[in-house]
Amino acid sequence: MKKVFLVGVFMCALLLNQSILNAQSFRVRSDGAIQIGYGAYKYLTFGNCNYATPNNGEWAIEYWDDNNGTNKGLNFWKPYPSTNDGNYKLFLKNNGNIGVGTGSPSFKLTVHGTIASYGTIVISSDRRLKSEVRPLQSTMDKLSQLNGVAYRKYLPDLHINEIDTQGITDEAKLNTIRDDQSNREELEQNENYGFIAQELREVFPELVREDNDGYLGIDYISLIPVMVEAMKELREEIDILKSANWELEIREKSTLENNNSTGNTIQEATLYQNAPNPFSSETEIKYYVPNNTGQASLLIFDMQGGLKKQMQVSAKGNGSVTINASELPAGMYIYSLIVDGREIDSKRMILTK
């Protein structure tokens, strides 16, 4: 009878202990659902880490609560002392954001580290998915206000003294958080190049984003079209300078030739500026050729000096020719009036399409 009584007491104590265990860390509900860490902090480990002591497993899954209610979610981590142990290998926050190397993802995907792609990263850019499309203006002036800098990163949520470990008594978890210091040091020692977000926001406020902690980030991808338009502006300025220099050289040459000429009929020939200029459909070039001259022609060159079009001027006196936009590609051109083998004048015209 005494033995039966002792066995009964032991079984009651075991059941009571199991009930407490089920209530706080592991339990199987009546509907078959299995819950881990339901009433107290617990994690589930995978893999036999038999090369290290203590053997805490190769991987672990937990429901992580930073104790301040800000960052809660499912955390995949490698327990100390497994190889490459570390916290926040993959963190699925309650709001659906995903963090890699961070427990506070402010965006749909937040990564602390380097991302590599051996394929193509495609960003949606279909015209049908855009509204209020308009050209960029004064891009060169805006870019000239930016200052590129070299810097090293500072990652606050990876600093051991800034991670809230209150209430964590598990040694494997605490040691794993401490080992994250080496990851922080590696990330923060690399030199990077970029812009200061606070400065860029003064010029391009729409390209700066603020995360949940108040830190600013830059949409570097959207700077690409800005740089493209700035390069086009710069190219146009270079072409204008080249055109002006070419025109100056031609006029100096023409003046020298005219000064050496014995007659004055060529000096009376005149070339006028085309109108409209710039043009997108057609433009008119007017000229005057004296009656006592011989052959005359109009030549059109591109900015590289290539002859694109030649027109004979048979009528003397005042005349004009019409240039259709379909005859030439869009760009800047130089047109010249040649009378009796001498260049009278040259002017610049711009074709836009």
Residue 237 confidence (pLDDT):
77
Residue for token pair 């007659």? 263
Picking from 353, 147, 344, the residue whose alpha carbon sits closest to that of residue 255 is 344
Separation between Cα atoms, residue 321 and residue 317, nearest integer Å: 13
Which pLDDT band holds residue 224 (cuts at 50, 70, 90)? very high
Using one digit for the tens of pLDDT, what is the confidence trace for 287-331? 999 988 888 999 999 888 888 999 999 888 899 999 999 999 888
Kindly list the structural domains of the chain, giving each domain's residue range(s) and its CATH number in brackets, ordered by start: 26-111+135-218 (no CATH), 227-351 (2.60.40.1930)
Per cent of the chain over pLDDT 70 is 74
Q: Going by DSSP bridges, is the β-strand pair 34-36/72-78 parallel, antiparallel, or unpaired?
A: unpaired
Picking from 219, 80, 102, the residue whose alpha carbon sits closest to that of residue 163 is 102
